[in-house]
Structure 1
Amino acid sequence: MLQNKLVESPIEILNGWKKAVLVRYGELSLKSESTRRFMENVLIRNIKWMLNRKKVPYDSIFRERGRIFLSSDSPRMVAQVLSSVFGVVSTSPVLVTSSEMDEIIRLSERVADVLIKPNDSFAIRARRVGTHSFTSIDVEKKVGEVILARTRNLNTKVNLTQPDKCIFIEVREKKTYIYHEVFPGPGGLPYNSEGKMVALFSGGIDSPVAMWLMMKRGCKVVPIYFDNTPYTDESNYNRTMSVIKILREYATQDKFYIYIVPHGKILEKAITQAPRRLTCLLCKRAFYRVATIIAEKENAKGIITGESLGQVASQTLDNLMVLNEATHLPVFRPLIGLDKLEIEGTAKKIGTYEASCIKTASCSAVPDKPRTKAKLEEVKKAEKELMDTIQEESNLAKRIYIE
């Protein structure tokens, strides 16, 4: 979460004006009227849920076209918390005044008194919606002239390209909102506005990013972790739980859980009763099959994976086709066109990177030379010995709830 490094914020310390939070959303405004209304309702529900979870107070919430506003005496705290809610493009703590030019200038002066320091450059950015006797440019010029004259003894100057400080003015029909901070949000669609999916989740760098990206597209996601003990140790499980707790903070739902599936028995059969070069593919197809059973139980509509084309042996185009055949559900691979640096960059942005980099034991079941261009016929023949264990494994899956 980004924020301006200010010792004091005029939004917090100025009294006499109503304080609020301006919440911006993006593509929701492009939807049809009925779809937009539905998604706005989901977004507002998620906003309320997040504030209640974080125990951040607010007084009321209301909407205008393309905007959601919250009244609060702690607008900066509210704005920061809501900048992690899917569907939110950005937030700003604001002061509220009327849309009369004199009142806009008066409040802008007070904000400038606190915000602008000696030798600062500044700019005024205005946006206007509705019918008024002035334009956005009029607001910028008049407010800018007044503030420049008011701060001349501070050796200030106007800089419209890279100002030290910027005062934003959003004029709406009857009310105007003045602010100086913008907290970027994740954007996307409101969480749980597009249905449910399951996700293959290992806790490494890739799968958390894949899950987060589909959450960003409005999907409610149920993660599934396959425990490869005795071919790995508990360090993998511990890492997984550390990472899922981070992603839980993005999931605006009361009951959030992960399935833990004991996978060692199938892996043992794949090693001892099938060609060794196919071990990884057989293991991964078993993931898909068990995930399909759990998805049907959860009424989920797809499987999310962290696969990226060509990254490892099981992720060649040929092998991905073999994997797809193991399920009748659509498989979503949001990382498919990203390289490792792009994936790592997203992991850092969402806060999972460090936890995902915790050192864990490597899987000892990985063969020396895994097949990179497997044939479906040979894989299906080899996995016949595994099929009786698929249902057994899914029955042993346990839900672990994450607070």
Structure 2
Amino acid sequence: MIPMYDLVVVRYGELTLKGRNKKRFTQQLTKTIRTACRHLPVRFESEHDRFYIHLDDAAYDHVASALAIIPGVAGFSPAIKAEKTTEAITEASSRLLAMHLDSPKTFKVETRRADKTFAIPSMTFSRALAGRLLSAFSDLSVDVHTPDLALHVEIRQSMAFVFVDKVEGLGGFPAGIAGKGYVLLSGGIDSPVAAFLAMKQGIAIEGMHFESSPLTSIEAAQKVVDLSQCLAPYAMHQHFRLHMVPFHRLHQKILETVPEPYHIIIMRRMMFRIAARYARLDHTQVLVTGESVGQVASQTLESLNVINAVTHMPILRPLVTMDKKACIRWAQKIGTYDISIRPFEDCCAVYVPAQPATAPRDYLALRYERLFDFETEISTILKQIQVLEIKQDTSLFLPDYGLTVLEALEAIGAQT
């Protein structure tokens, strides 16, 4: 039997614990939900601890797909509405149970009576409704401790409704509620997951990709465009801004001037300098990276300290204690894994030293940086960063427009 639901009940979860900030959090979340469902024939209704989506002519599956990827949604349930009478609630409950009874089951009824003008107490109503349903379904039996199925009844001011399924949402906080950050987005597995986890916690994330074509292939930058498409549905307004940083000249100078063991350390220090200075131009509060302690040479505690030393801007590392298997599971869940493992590497992966420094020293990093004029290069780079607005349905294949990213961006007229 195809379920015929009337509405979807959306739960806020821990947003309801935010005290005086609760209104701001819930308003941002409901705004995001309305945007995500804007093309569907639905109506919206809000109460202090619930948000309702009346399905009207919309398919529940379409609404569920939209809700499943919205940060801040703790969970949701498809429900059937009823008048606030025992007879109407019994009829709605019978319809709902018929949808779920593929085999004999145990069940229980849980009633939440938010409308205290409804005369029958919750426990009394649950027992009475269970008795009516037992009479209607001979294969059912009651088990209040470990039932196969829990029938939930909510009696609110405006209506009553019944539901069985409780679908888990992403949780976290609404997009953008915590401020803005830039993620240093490579084409690897880790940084897209870090971007997603930061967005899940309410940070409006934009990507910064340090592209080094022709030292690296243009296909490496294309991976990042495709990863941005995967991240767009989770982003604020469901589009992802990708800032393309022309890094090849500075990258070349590092390779030519700096001793090989310090290549990646100096490269990362330059990236952090550029990202932090660029972030200050539009009042971005934090940088986000996909670094995890000890996974590679540049992610030892000594290396992270030397890299961090170039900026006072907070650096968030959502994966800092996550092992690789856990990160891969997240990447598979959000759809970035298959893109990340394409055989096109970015500048930090292509030119890995044979014997990288795992315990670098700050004074040595400073000494090697004095060997070339990086400040002039950074000033030039900051003026040349270009921005791509990426949506889930964006169709953009950089190799069609040139052999380097710069050629491609000039051909398509990217925003600077």
| Structure 2 length-normalised TM | 0.86
Q: Which residue of 1 aligns with 2:34?
A: 48
What displacement does 1:25 show?
A: 1.0
Aligned match of 2:290:
306
**1:151 maps to which of 109, 115, 137:** 137
Structure 2 vs 1, CA of residues 165 and 359 (structure 1 numbering), >3 Å: closer, same or farther?
Answer: farther
Report what 1:4 is aligned to.
none
Question: Which residue does the alignment assign to 2:15?
Answer: 28
The residue type equivalent to 2:18 in the other structure is: K
Give, in whole Å, the separation in 2 of the partners of 1:351 and 1:129. Answer: 40
Unaligned runs of 5+ in 1: 1-6, 12-18
2:90 to 99, 105, 120: 105
Task: Report the count of equivalent residues.
Answer: 384
Whole-Å Cα distance in 1 between the matches of residues 210 and 156 of structure 2? 53
**Corresponding letter in the other structure for 2:263:** T
Corresponding residue of 2:376: 388
The secondary structure found in structure 2 opposite 1:37 is helix
CA distance 1:381–1:190, change in 2 (3 Å): same
Residues 161-220 of structure 1: per-residue CA shift (max 9 Å, x gap): 665544322232452221233332111111011111111001321111111111111111
Say which of 102, 116, 127 aligns to 1:117. Answer: 102
Q: Which residue of 1 aligns with 2:235?
A: 251
Quote the offset at 1:125 in angstroms.
Answer: 3.6
Q: CA deviation at 1:283?
A: 0.8
The 1:318–1:187 alpha-carbon spacing in structure 2 relative to 1, beyond 3 Å, is same
Contact 1:203 1:241 in 2 (8 A): no
Which residue of 62, 69, 72 maps to 2:45?
62
Asked if structure 1 preserves the Cα contact closer than 8 Å seen for 2:240 and 2:390, the reply is yes
Distance 1:353 1:92 in 2: 29
Give the counterpart of 1:92 among 70, 77, 82: 77
Q: Distance in 2 between matches of 1:255 and 1:349?
A: 19
Give the conservation status (yes or no) of the 8 Å contact 1:203–1:244.
Answer: no
CA-CA distance at 1:121 after TM superposition? 4.0
Distance 2:190 2:321 in 1: 13
- Displacement after TM superposition at 1:254 (Å): 6.5
Give me the whole-angstrom Cα distance separating, in 2, the residues matched to 1:170 and 1:192.
32
Q: Distance in 1 between matches of 2:337 and 2:46?
A: 35
Q: Which residues of 2 match residues 111-260 of structure 1 at below 5 A?
A: 111-131=96-116, 132-152=118-138, 155-160=139-144, 163-253=147-237, 256-260=240-244
Mean Cα deviation higher: 127-136 or 308-317:
127-136
- Corresponding position of 1:71: 54
Bigger drift between 229-238 and 35-44 goes to 229-238
Aligned-partner Cα distance in 1 for 2:233–2:107: 36
Q: Tell me, yes or no, if the aligned pair for 1:50 and 1:252 is still in contact at 8 Å.
A: no
Tell me the equivalent position of 1:9: 3
Query: What does residue 355 of structure 2 align with?
Result: 369
Instruction: State whether structure 2 residue 338 is matched by structure 1 residue 338.
Output: no
Identity among equivalent positions (%) equals 28
TM-score (norm 1): 0.89
For the 8 Å contact 2:75–2:168, the answer to whether it is kept is: yes
1:15 counterpart residue number: none
Contact kept in structure 2, 1:50 and 1:81, CA below 8 Å? yes
**Secondary structure at the residue paired with 1:43?**
helix
Q: 2: distance between equivalents of 1:180 and 1:212? A: 30
Amino acid at match of 1:342: A
Cα RMSD of the aligned pairs, angstroms, is: 2.1
**Matched residues in 1 for 2:243 and 2:367: separation?**
29
Unaligned runs of 5+ in 2: 392-416
Mapped contact 1:21–1:75 kept (Cα < 8 A): no
CA distance in 1, matches of 2:305, 2:238: 37
| Distance in 2 separating the partners of 1:393 and 1:51 | 40
Contact 1:127 1:136 in 2 (8 A): yes
User: Aligned partners of 2:236, 2:345: CA distance in 1, in Å?
Assistant: 32
Higher mean C-alpha displacement, 100-109 vs 285-294: 100-109
